Structure 1
Amino acid sequence: MLTPIPKPYLSRRAFLYASLAGAAFLAGPKSLRAAELPRNVTALAFESDALLVAGETLLRSDDGDASWASVSAPNGGGILALATHPVRPGRVVAGLAKGGVAVSEDSGRVWEPRGKGLPDAAVIAVAVAAAEPDIFYAALRGDGLWQSEDTGRSWTFVMDRPWLADGERDPTALASVDLATGMGGIWIYAGTEAGLTRVPDCFCRWQDVRPGNAMDALVSGDAPPSEAPLPAGEPIRALTSAPSASGTLHAALPSGVWTSRDAGIVWSRTAEGDATAVAVNPANSNHIVAALNGGLTQSRDGGITWSALAVI
């Protein structure tokens, strides 16, 4: 006759913790535990519906953040920036701290260095052209803006660093936005430590973000002040825009996540905290993920409400 195995004793404290855990599961995604948090998140990107998180490691979730897998990072140092394009599934572009750009064509499993012609400097921001997915942009620390028309295999210098607040400023964040108001139809937005600027893809000159098209911005005279610009004196760490809502921009700043729905003229804060990175789902402009206060948080309603991501 088999002897019954005694049931383990469940203390009041254990019962309470188990009850709270069950309630949290029923209520929705649980917060990341401290040991599971990606440390020092430097970049976020959606590759189709999958989310990539770059920090001390490179993580990927393919199931709406229910589970995560470690992805092999490219050689050449830490990742400072990530960029993808919805019409090139599987392709991920990474800007590297030790210099150069790496490109993966299989969702981050295998990386190829593609920095021929780039100076030996950290690549602090990357972007893929909104209407030309084989054209890349890269901003280099202490240098300027570079362009590749062959998916990163060769590069050409296109713009000096923007002059803002009485000094040249490194572009710390880049976003290519199709607004049909640039001279070629595309704007490249750049965040810096001293504010926001942009250039049409003719690369004529950096311009203030203001109403109207690129020709209007070239007319002499003072630009009309923005009704609600981004906070002065704060570095812009990341910029993003979904192709499905190109006029909507999100920016990561030390004061939080900021959103503009008129191509950068008027901004409002949608999440408070120290934000280091932000990404938006290319197929769903209401789905935003941000690195905030050392953790990951997401919004499914365009930034109205936010909740912590879960890792199981």
Structure 2
Amino acid sequence: MTAVGLLALPVALRPAMSASSPAVALAFDGEALIAAGATLSRSDDGGRTRISLSGPDGILALATHPERPGRVVAGLASGGVAVSEDGGRAWESQVVGYGKGAVDAVTFAARQPDMMYAAIRGDGLWKSEDAGRNWSLAMDRPWLDDAERDLRSLASVDLATGMGGIWIYAGTDTGITRVPDCFCRWQDVQPGNAMDALVAGDAPPPEAPLPSGEPVRALAGAHTASGMLYAALPSGVWSSRDAGVVWSRLTSGDASAVAVNPSDPKYLVAALDGGLKQSRDCGTTWSALATS
């Protein structure tokens, strides 16, 4: 079933406020970092300073694409998404699905900057092939641990296997799952050939998975290193170099968001224990970012 987006209208903007509120969503727009929490801010100088932006209320997720500088999509707690084409300064609202349910996660297709995905709470995964103007249901929610699970985070990963090589990874309240962009079925992340595992059904479990039972609040893929993934969990920031089979914890703490610089997969920023921290060496060392 296809849901046609309503005529795009400017969203009701909240006034710009202090940029010091904890972030629940992060995204790099080129070299600039955009952070959303109770407020919305942007840093164009590597985090040394941040400027406040006027933006839509209740941003739960942010996504950008390196081939479309300035384009930012935000998932909203009130439902639907807001799209900016100027780096977060002006926004237009778009209806997703039936206009009900918070949009907990958004992402762009790895090779297609006009294709967006949005996860609607209580519904499923929706996609737009025209930068958010029209949407259609791509996939129901996955059935995991004897229940249908909402998708809390999304990342598009360009793998060597799959229908076209693109997979959508999703974080849930209990772990991580994925589906190829043919949208045939959700599967656990498994070692070996991803499409062979999908066809065969049962396959060996991941060698070192993310901690069981923890919500995966954010996922981020590295555009210049397709097998590299980062995840934000209550136990910290985690990384994988093989598309999610083996994970290791980079730093402990309560992590709510993570973003990777599109031109440098070693440069990441995380919302950790209520503040922003950055690493320039794949998470080996961390330093605090400015809050004003």
Q: CA deviation at 1:221?
A: 5.0
Q: Are residues 1:257 and 2:237 paired?
A: yes
In structure 1, the residue corresponding to 2:195 is in which secondary structure? helix
Quick one: distance in 2 between partners of 1:113 and 1:310?
Answer: 30
In structure 2, the residue corresponding to 1:151 is in which secondary structure? coil
Cα distance per residue 1:77-101 (max 9 Å; x no partner)? 3100000000100000000000011
Q: Are residues 1:62 and 2:44 paired?
A: yes
Counterpart residue number, 1:42: 24
Q: How many residues align?
A: 276
Q: Are residues 1:229 and 2:214 paired?
A: no
Q: CA deviation at 1:182?
A: 1.5
How many percent of aligned residue pairs carry the same amino acid?
69
Of 174, 188, 195, 2:168 maps to: 188
In structure 1, the residue corresponding to 2:197 is in which secondary structure? helix
Quick one: distance in 2 between partners of 1:167 and 1:285?
Answer: 35
| 8 Å contact kept, 1:118–1:155 | no
In structure 1, the residue corresponding to 2:144 is in which secondary structure? coil
Counterpart residue number, 2:151: 171
Mark the CA change 1:221 to 1:127 in structure 2 (over 3 Å): closer, same or farther. Answer: closer
Counterpart residue number, 1:86: 66
Q: Are residues 1:52 and 2:2 paired?
A: no
Q: Could you tell me which amino acid in structure 2 is paired with residue 123 of structure 1?
A: V
Of 116, 137, 140, 1:157 maps to: 137
TM-score if structure 2 supplies the norm length? 0.91
Q: CA deviation at 1:116?
A: 5.2
Q: Which runs of 4+ in 1 moved over 6 A?
A: none
Counterpart residue number, 1:73: 55
Counterpart residue number, 2:183: 203
Q: Could you tell me which amino acid in structure 1 is paired with residue 232 of structure 2?
A: A
Q: CA deviation at 1:160?
A: 0.5
Cα distance per residue 1:147-198 (max 9 Å; x no partner)? 0001000100010101111111001000001112121210000000011100
| 8 Å contact kept, 1:38–1:53 | no
In structure 2, the residue corresponding to 1:217 is in which secondary structure? helix
| 8 Å contact kept, 2:19–2:50 | no
In structure 2, the residue corresponding to 1:155 is in which secondary structure? strand
Quick one: distance in 2 between partners of 1:83 and 1:293?
Answer: 22
Of 83, 88, 107, 2:87 maps to: 107
What 5-or-longer segments of structure 2 have no aligned partner? 1-17
What's the RMSD between the two structures over aligned residues?
1.5
The structure where helix makes up a greater share of residues is: 1
Q: Are residues 1:309 and 2:292 paired?
A: no
| 8 Å contact kept, 2:19–2:40 | no
Quick one: distance in 2 between partners of 1:122 and 1:270?
Answer: 30
Quick one: distance in 2 between partners of 1:60 and 1:209?
Answer: 34
| 8 Å contact kept, 2:97–2:137 | no
Counterpart residue number, 1:120: 100
Quick one: distance in 1 between partners of 2:220 and 2:190?
Answer: 18
Stretch moving more, 206-215 or 60-69: 206-215
Q: Could you tell me which amino acid in structure 1 is paired with residue 95 of structure 2?
A: G
Quick one: distance in 1 between partners of 2:90 and 2:290?
Answer: 27
Q: CA deviation at 1:124?
A: 0.2
Q: Could you tell me which amino acid in structure 1 is paired with residue 25 of structure 2?
A: A
Q: Could you tell me which amino acid in structure 1 is paired with residue 273 of structure 2?
A: N
- Which structure would you say has the larger Rg? 1
Q: CA deviation at 1:268?
A: 0.3
Cα distance per residue 1:118-164 (max 9 Å; x no partner)? 43110000000001110000000010000000100010001010111
Quick one: distance in 1 between partners of 2:185 and 2:201?
Answer: 15
Quick one: distance in 1 between partners of 2:195 and 2:266?
Answer: 31
| 8 Å contact kept, 1:200–1:214 | no
The structure where strand makes up a greater share of residues is: 2
Quick one: distance in 2 between partners of 1:56 and 1:95?
Answer: 14
Counterpart residue number, 2:7: none
Quick one: distance in 2 between partners of 1:240 and 1:147?
Answer: 18
Mark the CA change 1:125 to 1:136 in structure 2 (over 3 Å): closer, same or farther. Answer: same
